[in-house]
Amino acid sequence: VEVKKGDHMVSLYSPDLLSAQEELIQAVEAVKNLKDTGMSLIKDRAAATVEASREKLRRWGLNDEQIASIEVKKQPDKHITIFSPISGVVIHKHALEGEYVKTGSQIYTIADLSRVWIKLDAYESDLAWLHYGQEVEFSTEAFPGQSFLGKVAFIDPILNPKTRTVKVR
């Protein structure tokens, strides 16, 4: 499935995520309560705690709009929507709906297929005409009538003795 950056990927419940949201709400409230006090050191520490709480939620996968919404509502969300961090193609689904996932485990693998590698076998006799950085044009049976452009990024220095070819990327 093709996805764009910011597309809804999954909605999940996590007690740890709920706690992290609550930490942010309490930290924001502490900053507001200390606003009129003259204790600059404590105010600075409270402001640092707010920023640390925001960063913790960012690392959980929440975007800035979601974090701002939590601060405004002053209420944690029980289910959090995780959005796609990049545009690309979902190449693997690691979990199913309703399944328990551990912290740090992947739910989806998304690949940006706008740029890919192609590996070719070059015959030993053709090596004299190949060099690093050379522009190449090629076609495939999978896309008849289309040609693709690329650059040679790597030429394997070891010749396969059976096929008398080298890998070219």
For the segment 92-118, the average pLDDT, to the nearest whole number, is 89
Q: What percent of the chain has pLDDT over 90?
A: 64
Predicted confidence at residue 105, as pLDDT, reads: 84
User: pTM higher than 0.95 for the full model?
Assistant: no
Sign of CA dihedral 146, 150, 153, 157: positive
In single-letter form, the type of residue at position 154 comes to F
pLDDT above 80 for 39:
no
Q: How are beta strands 147-151 and 135-139 bridged, if at all?
A: antiparallel
